[in-house]
Chains A and B, each alone.
Chain A
Amino acid sequence: MYKNIEDLSLSKLGIHVFLIGVSISCLLPLIWMIASSLKTQDAIFTNMSLWPEVFKFSNYTEAWKGGRFGTYFLNSLFYTVTVIFFIVLFSSMAAFAFSRLDFPGKNILFYMFIGVMMIPIPGVFVAIFVILNKLSLINTRVGYILPQINAGLPFSIYLLKTFFDKIPKEMEDSAKIDGCSKWQIYWHVALPLAKSAIAVIVIFNALSTWNEFLLANLIFSDADLMPLQVGLLKFQGERVTEYPQLMAGMTMTTAFIIVTYLFMQRFIIKGITAGAVKG
């Protein structure tokens, strides 16, 4: 990394020590969680080592079956995929309209969307609950999905609009001459070019939907509909908490989001328009 030892000044050394410290403080709980998920219930309290004496992989199968983890996992998967699908669909269409079409009230409408980003989501929980209740959507999947799509839209629209703005006008003209309608420009040109922005949107919204707890806790009473985060709470029994199974559940929960991130990361490619327009 450094060509010679003089480059490694004291301040740089300090920065590195600090960053390594931050990394350890982030990774340690994760490693501890994984280690605990492989221990027995007794060993959790007696063996403080990060290396279990006996590896109890059955914690995972027990959590999946016995703790209804499978149901929660599939629920969460369903909610996340559905929410992301609609966020990407609606936000890309809206952002394309804000960026490339002319219609009355365009700017006001756009600033309204941006303004919504300023409102913290828990601040509108009462309103959401009242609306969902009036629409009889409490304790339903739709009632859980709709507010989350709504919450994810402003940021996604903002991000994609900035992105679409950067697509050269000439590329749109060229598509028009090639025979594209507005819809076809959106579908064949704008959307494929926005791949990396969409990857960012997918990751951000996957994280927030997968980790969502408050709303689910608020509207679900039926355990069959609950997502993971609320489900995990069920592992904390009234008298005994099965820590190894809880940790196994949490490891699986976290693994999903890490895999998603690793998979999407390769789409965040630099310079989408590289090659289209000479800089």
Chain B
Amino acid sequence: MAKVSLNNISKTYDEKEYAVLNCNLEIEDREFVVLVGPSGCGKSTTLRMVAGLESVSSGEIMIGDMVVNHIPPKDRDIAMVFQNYALYPHMTVFDNMAFGLKLRRFSKNEISERVLHAAKILNIEPFLHRKPRELSGGERQRVAVGRAIVRKPQVFLFDEPLSNLDAKMRVQMRTEISRLHKRLQTTMIYVTHDQVEAMTMGDRIVVMNKGEIQQVADPLTIYEHPRNLFVAGFIGSPPMNFFSGKIISAGSILQFVIKGMSLQLTHEMNKKMHSYINQEVIMGIRPEKIYDKLFAKTATDTNTITASVEVVEQMGSEMFTYLKNESADFVARLDAHEQLEPGQDMELVFDMSKCHFFEPGTGINLVD
């Protein structure tokens, strides 16, 4: 068990194109950190640099107290689980799990003890003498995890391990990996493009985009206090609604206006947004912070707008309602039992205490 530090690391190709730029990250001992971001954001490259499968162009990677930039993968005391499982098809499940130990010249007894123990944890004992091709996707991924845990490494690395599984299996394996983390108490770094995995599994989430770290925080902080427009839009499903408009001053209070629609800022926001009067800003609000006026507790003329229903997505537990008016398109997460028809007009209340304002150019969150 060890902590992992990334000190200003970058990965460049041909000295022009960069995949990762100046990343700084401290991962504590026994922490479960999830790197999340869209395709090509550099999250896998970062993980591969930690693994030693990619060289580091500049900066320093430390595992424990040791700088590992020039140490080959096998000597870094890490184990990695890949998206495509990467099991050896010519070996049985037992041999797949034992391979790393055999190369490290463990005794036969020790190997068999460790493999059986891992197999028991992962419920793959019945498959030990089968070849990978005889297993289902979920079973194969369990073997891949088993291959990692028999080594008892200091750090576990997961590179989108659940992407190839079907939806049900993914949910099951997600819980299993979380449970495994609690049981093994080892540092884990997990890469995914799936924000649900990130939110549910990580102690902390690292959101990446275009090779740069956008925000590092625990899941709830990321969700409620996104540092910028990218994080706000990436985390959350359906994503946060954005409206481009202007802050104007109406006496002592501020308002956010877009064509014919005006919303009054709360007292607290007033202070923070005072210096942005008459400036263009982007307002963001989560779908669950928009209510049907009929059921809203805090409806006033200054936080209510009218829009027409375009599409209704019934989820059973809730209802995603896609709305439109002359100023904007947006989505609200409403009660599943509301009777709404496409085309109908409705009044909606915005919880202005939970909205965010972003600077259009830099995307920085102005209120957090």
A76 → B minimal CB distance (Å)? 32
Q: How far is the CA of A178 from the CA of B86 in the complex (A)?
A: 12
Interface size bracket, B side: 20 to 34
Confirm or deny: A165 has a beta carbon within 8 angstroms of a beta carbon on chain B. no
Q: How far is the CA of A180 from the CA of B73 in the complex (A)?
A: 9
Instruction: Give the distance to chain A from B14, nearest Cβ to Cβ, in Å.
Output: 15
Task: Kindly provide the distance from the CB of A174 to the nearest chain B CB, expressed in whole angstroms.
Answer: 4
Q: In the assembly, what is the distance between CA of A175 and CA of B100, in Å?
A: 8
State which residues 125-184 of A face B: CB under 8 Å. 168, 170-171, 173-180, 184
Pick the most buried of A184, A193, A275: most chain B CB atoms within 10 A of its CB. A275
Which residues of A239-279 are within 8 A (CB) of B?
272-278
Tell me the total A-B contact number using a CB cutoff of 8 A. Answer: 83
Contact B100 A178 (CB under 8 A): yes
Judge whether A192 is part of the interface by a CB distance below 8 angstroms.
yes
Question: Looking at the complex, which one of A177, A184, A273 makes contact with B78 (CB distance below 8 Å)?
Answer: A177
Are A276's CB and B85's CB within 8 A? Answer: yes
Please pick, from B86, B99, B104, B164, the residue contacting A173 in the complex, using a CB distance under 8 A: B86
Q: Which of B126-134, B174-182, B309-317 contacts A (4 or more CB under 8 A)?
A: B126-134
User: How distant is the Cα of A243 from the Cα of B103 in the complex, in angstroms?
Assistant: 59
Across the interface, which residues of A come within 8 angstroms of B238, CB to CB?
A: none
Selected interface stretch from B28-36, B87-95, B117-125, B296-304: B87-95
**What's the minimum C-beta distance from B360 to chain A, rounded to whole angstroms?**
41
Of the residues A178, A184, A275, contact of B89 by C-beta under 8 Å:
A275
Interface size on A, residues (CB 8 A): 24
Minimum C-beta distance from B38 to chain A (A): 21
Q: Are B86 and A277 in contact (CB under 8 A)?
A: yes
Contact of B74 among A171, A177, A274 (CB under 8 A): A177
Does any Cβ of B come within 8 Å of A43's Cβ? no
Known: A170-B83, A173-B80, A174-B82. A276 touches B89 (CB 8 A): yes
User: For residue B144, which residue of chain A has the nearest CB?
Assistant: A174
- In the assembled complex, the Cα of A278 lies from the Cα of B141 at a distance in Å of 11
Q: Is there an interface contact between A275 and B82, defined as CB atoms closer than 8 Å? A: no
Tell me how far the C-beta of A14 lies from the nearest C-beta in chain B, rounded to whole angstroms: 40
Report B76 CB to chain A, min CB distance, Å: 8
A106 within 8 A of B: no
- Select from chain B the residue with minimum beta-carbon distance to A191: B90
Complex Cα distance A278/B83, Å? 9
A177 interface neighbour in B79, B90, B135, Cβ under 8 Å: B79
5 contacts between A and B (CB under 8 A): A170-B82, A188-B99, A277-B85, A278-B84, A278-B85
Instruction: Please list the 10 inter-chain residue pairs (A to B) with the smallest Cβ-Cβ separation, ordered nearest first.
Output: A275-B133, A275-B132, A178-B100, A174-B86, A179-B103, A179-B74, A170-B86, A276-B89, A277-B84, A192-B90
Known interface pairs A176-B74, A178-B147, A179-B104; 10 further A-B residue pairs with C-beta atoms within 8 A, sorted by A's residue number = A174-B80, A177-B73, A180-B74, A274-B89, A275-B87, A275-B132, A275-B135, A276-B86, A277-B86, A278-B140
| A contacts, CB < 8 Å to B | 168, 170-171, 173-180, 184, 188-189, 192-193, 195, 272-278
